[in-house]
Amino acid sequence: MTSTQDQPRIRPDRRIARSGEAFGAEASTPEQRIQRLRRRLERLIGIAATEGNGLVPLRNGDEIFAAMLESIRSAQHTVDMMTFVYWRGDIAREFAEALSERARAGVRVRLLLDGFGCRLIEKDQLTMMERDGVQVAWFRKPLYLSPLKQNHRCHRKALVVDESTAFTGGVGIAEEWCGDARDENEWRDTHVRLQGAAVDGIAAAFAQNWAECHDELFDGRDRFVEHERQGSAIVQVVRGSASFGWQDMQTLMRVMLESAEERFRLTTAYFSPDAYFIDLLCAAARRGVEVEILLPGPYTDKRVCQLAGQHYYDELLACGVKILQYQPTMLHAKVITVDSVASLIGSTNFNRRSLEHDEEVMLAVLDEAFTATLDGHFDEDAARSEPIKGGRWKRRSVLQRAREAAVQPIRRYL
């Protein structure tokens, strides 16, 4: 199958309308919806979900960094960490010191850094970590790559401690994420702490990228722990990897959109999908699903990507999709909720780069309580956002329209 950018634009409205009729006919309990979604995801993606997982959503740097550092400092056996962004500042040094201290204590510590995203890391931090025994590996340093590989980055964020606790989400290790989204200097983001059998899926995401970058994939310090029941959540760990053709991450998003019966909520830092996914969003709205999209507003670190997404606002608004722009600061979270029973959380944005080009990891969580918490976060963020009004948007300036058009030729790289 060819990638979506090579396909003619297909409007899936009629086919999905028939699916919507079927959904309406099978008015069901939350438990039935969860089981139906689970079967679809397992069959179409080919990865088994696990039961008995416990998840704690974490908002913004104050919560996220404290939880991650506490877990690292308590490690007794292993720490595996990978990130797309590791820059400068006090928080970067705090992580480096925590990892170094555990390595000196005899814990096996492995750190995987993307060769492009982490290029600004301070060299003295690297020197300290390597001197103290942290195994540092780089994913695809641009200078040493063919042009075909340079565009495919490791955007995954993961921390696995003692094979029993994992973290993933949108946060990078940099000053921008510190604080609690109180002003434009403190970004808004979401991470999650995971315990239970699904931790193995996050560990596999790390191992997949580590295997490309390091000669030693495992050693005698690896343990195979029996995961005790930590909660009630069913979790499937989905990995997106750069290659040609349709990707698992695209399948995941499509399943969630086509399965939505009542409400589909998307929070994303970078909104620049292809026309096919715009049609899927519109088709969901047309069959009666409440579709809400929460995006960055005046504060964004990638204005070009924002312009590429704004090109589709007219079409989305005409279909009944509600678009909100977050006002206080840069919105960097990547969260989807569906029908109050299912949610996606991880590193994947709703853009061409995440869906087609980069290494990503996403948790598909089937759990009412967890989804309710994320929906509550959405409501709070929506209260701090401005809706895009169709009439006003149609009257936007000629300059704005020209900027939107200017970025269309490069949107597949955004």
Where in the chain are the domains? 9-413
pLDDT score of 327? 98
Q: Which residues of 235-262 are buried (b: 16+ CB within 10 A; e: fewer)?
A: bbbbbbbbeeebbbbbbbbbbbbbbbbe
Neighbouring residues of 122: CB distance < 8 A, sequence distance ≥ 6:
88, 92, 93
Q: Angle between the 90-104 and 123-131 helix axes, to the nearest 10 degrees?
A: 10
CB 134 within 8 Å of CB 99: yes
- 3-class secondary structure, 360: strand
CA distances (Å), 251 to each of 83, 188, 334, 411, in order? 24, 27, 17, 20
| Assigned CATH topology for domain 9-413 | Endonuclease; Chain A (3.30.870)
Q: Which residues make beta-bridge pairs with 81?
A: 111, 159
Low-confidence spans in the chain with pLDDT less than 50: 1-8, 10, 13-25
Q: What Cα–Cα distance (Å) separates residue 74 from each residue in 67, 91, 158, 366? A: 11, 18, 17, 29
The pLDDT tens digits of the residues spanning 346-363 come to 999 998 878 877 889 999
CA-CA distances (angstroms) from residue 343 to 89, 362, 364, 375?
33, 10, 6, 9
pLDDT of 168 reads: 98
330 exposure class (CB count in 10 Å sphere: 0-12, 13-18, 19+): buried
Q: Which two tokens stand for residue 20?
A: 């919507």
SS3 193: strand
Distances (CA, A) of 370 to 41, 42, 65: 18, 20, 20
Residue 58 backbone dihedrals phi, psi, to 5 degrees: -125, 130
Contact between 110 and 79 (Cβ < 8 Å): yes
Phi-psi region of 339 (alpha: psi -120 to 50; beta: other; left: phi over 0): left
- In this structure, what token pair is assigned to residue 369? 């309580």
Are 37 and 341 in contact, with CB atoms under 8 Å apart?
yes
Structural tokens at position 352: 């061409």
SS3 of residue 351 by DSSP: strand
Mark residue 179 as left, alpha or beta (left: phi above 0; alpha: psi -120 to 50; beta: remaining).
Answer: left
Token pair 């191992």: residue: 207
